[in-house]
Amino acid sequence: MSARSRRSTLAVFACLLASGAVALVYEVVWARLLGLVMGHTAYALSAILTSFLGGLADRLGRLVVAEFALLVYGASPIAMVLLLALFGGASAVVWGYCVSTVLLWHATYSINSLAHRWGTRRYATPDESRNNWLLGLLTLGEGWHNNHHHYCAAARQGFLWWEIDVTYYLLRALAAIGVVWEIREPPRHVVKPDPGGSLDRAA
């Protein structure tokens, strides 16, 4: 691997880590601090003042969320392109941003197209949704689409142990360090396949 290729690869990973760090700092620092302040004032102040502060905090929180969204979804891609160009040149921008973004789009779009055409159907949902292991790997768990249509309220889409759901594993890791909580699991009676198993077939 050439020095330029190494720099391009490092730039891609640095951009991904920076985006994740910004999101984590927002969640851990700002959201927790706001909750702490509101919890303390709710105890210490009268109901009227607490109501006023709660409304103010809600408006402020919405403003901060909007600003954060602008930062992550606006400035982050621009910063990524600039860093890729700086450390890897035009080829790094093409492969590290343009091609990877288009591939991400198509992997996402494939769930509502290919996952309604190819795969297995464990549950008799009123649509043609299917579980597709390859799409499950490419989209970090979204390919278990028939499971999702059967029970949309669960955080995990791979209901069985062998249905790899990387997104769910990441959520469990974030729950372990207190960043997310109350992760909804599919109840046991929901996971049980339809009687007869006639739907568990490949298209």
3-state helix vs strand vs coil in the chain, percent to 5: 65, 0, 30
User: Which residue reads 């606006």 in tokens?
Assistant: 74
SS3 at position 6: helix
Q: What is the per-residue pLDDT for 128?
A: 87
Angle subtended by helix axes 3-25 and 76-93, to nearest 10:
170
| Residue 123: how many other CB atoms lie within 10 Å | 20
Any residues with CB less than 8 A from the CB of 93 and at least 6 apart, and which? 81, 84, 85
In tens, the pLDDT along 31-71 reads 555 554 444 444 444 444 445 545 555 555 565 556 666 66
Q: Give this prediction's pTM.
A: 0.60
First to last CA, the chain: 42
In tens, the pLDDT along 84-134 reads 898 888 888 899 888 988 888 888 888 888 888 889 999 999 988 999 999
